[in-house]
Amino acid sequence: MANDASAAFDTLSPAVSKGSLADPFTPPADSSLWRKNFLLGAATASYQIEGAVDEDGRLPSIWDTFSATPGKVLAGDTGAVACDHYHRWEADIDMLASLGLEGYRLSIAWPRVMDAAGRPNRKGLDFYKRLLNRLKEKGITSFVTLYHWDLPQHLEDRGGWLNRDTAYRFADYADLMSRELAGTVDAWATLNEPWCSAYLGYGNGHHAPGLANDRFATQAMHHLLLAHGLAIPVLRGNDPASQKGIVANIGRGTANSDSAADQRAAHLFEVQHNAWILDPLLKGEYPQDLFELWPGTEPLVLDGDMRTIAAPLDFLGINYYFRTNVASDGAHGFRDVPLEGVERTQMGWEVYPDGLRDLLTGFKKTYRNLPPIYITENGMASDDKVIDGHVDDAQRISFLKRHLAAVDQAIKAGVDVRGYFLWSLMDNFEWAFGYERRFGVVHVDYSTQKRTVKRSAELVAKFLKERKARV
């Protein structure tokens, strides 16, 4: 396979690589990012990159079903081939290492490693064992997410996350994975972005399995969080040396005016996006304001569930992308009021780095037991093109620089942020938007699978090289 990435350091423009040119990424000298123990890595997820959906005993997932349903994904794209990472993983890990990235956050495809009876699928497990061993050989810290949305379809056929039993099946899966992979994983995350699984999957139907009912969303969330809480002690028992946590996407909501109604709307936005997940995890209770927003949607909670969900965490993964400006909808909730004249990405999302700083410092005040934080995803999509063998993703470079500055500000304000993962290592299947939206710091040509390191990745590599060289 052609892979321009392994020569990443050599492809820097000569002036930049000699250090004779001030580059637009390198953080200022007083930035916490220069600390060598601040982990800088990149993230991916199984369904978005692996392909090989029916190879070596992998079973169908809800995303195979959903993406095969006409009208659900832009241009009818599916993850059937994606970045073909299942076959190209060695070159992809070489590329990651050549960029000097110190951490890699990946996810395991549940339907690849377990059959419908809960028995291990050796071929699928061996894939992850080889990959994790290679990361270890290369000295790359591994963050492994157990569930990044590819639920086995046979579990969805029995109700998916609306069925409490799925939480227990998840604990069995966590048990198998942590017995098989103990010693090769530095940090386990149970779930990626339960908000998306519950709300986009069961509340508005934009994601698999495509159901749309607020009551379903709150019940699915409860079972997802229960699954997380059941898995944490299992992971601790089987793999005591690793860190255990969960990854939440968080949203900044700002009020369109000073009116009490709009201020309340912004508060409710953040309850719906943040407190819905963080309160149960860190306070052991659901925020009651959520049920003001969605009256009558209280989930069925059994005795002991909230204690299970609030199991102590070693870290909290935070994914941040944008802010939403909102006003009161005149009833119980909020409505989006998009701001004009602001910078946006290919997704239409506003670029708003202050939101990351403000949320992190706000969480520190709200949650007395806030665990150490890793920014497990941050990045942006742009319509990147390869021109003369290069991709000049200037907006992404500026985006990353500004968001890393926001992280530095949060650290200086006392928030314990220990690392940052770029989303994403490479362009990939962006869910309902298919392959059109490019989030990678490495470009993927889907017709040839050729990888081309974008300028953003070159500059991150340059910074990491300089940081490493410091005494």
d(CA 440, CA 424): 5
Residues that bind ligand IFM (CB under 6 A): 45, 48, 193, 249, 319, 377, 423, 430, 439
| Between 286 and 315, CB nearer to ligand IFM | 315
C-beta of 142 vs 197, nearer to ligand IFM: 197
In the complex with ligand IFM, which residue's Cβ is closer, 216 or 435?
Answer: 435
To ligand IFM, the closest distance from the beta carbon of 448 in angstroms equals 22
Q: Which residue has the tokens 């926001």?
A: 406
Q: Choose between 248 and 461: whose C-beta lies nearer to ligand IFM.
A: 248
Least Cα distance to 3 among 445, 430, 459, 388 occurs for 445
Angle at 191 between CA 138 and CA 33, to 5 degrees: 50
* Smallest separation (angstroms) from ligand IFM to the CB of 431: 6
**Nearest-angstrom CA–CA distance, 404 and 142:** 21
Q: Please give the positions annotated as active site.
A: 193, 377
Nearer to ligand IFM, 46 or 256 (CB): 46
Task: State in angstroms the smallest separation of the CB of 402 from ligand IFM.
Answer: 18
Residue nearest to ligand IFM (CB): 45
Residue 373 host element (H or E):
strand 373-378
Write the DSSP assignment of 159-191 as a string of letters.
TGGGSTHHHHHHHHHHHHHHHHHTTT-SEEEEE
Is the link from the previous residue into 209 a cis peptide, with omega within 30 of 0? yes
Output phi, psi for 106, to 5 deg: -130, 170
- Nearest distance, CB of residue 249 and ligand IFM, angstroms: 6
442-445 vs 450-453, strand pairing mode: antiparallel
State which residue, 12 or 380, has the beta carbon closest to ligand IFM: 380
Contact call for residues 394 and 456 (beta carbons, < 8 A): no
Question: In the bound complex, what is the minimum distance in angstroms from residue 345's beta carbon to ligand IFM?
Answer: 10
Q: Smallest Cα–Cα separation from 174: which of 126, 239, 117?
A: 239
Shortest spacing between CB 306 and ligand IFM, in angstroms: 26
CA distances (Å), 365 to each of 186, 224, 271, 405, 413, in order?
A: 28, 26, 15, 21, 11
Task: Please report the DSSP string for 433-447 in residue order.
Answer: GTTTS---SEEEETT
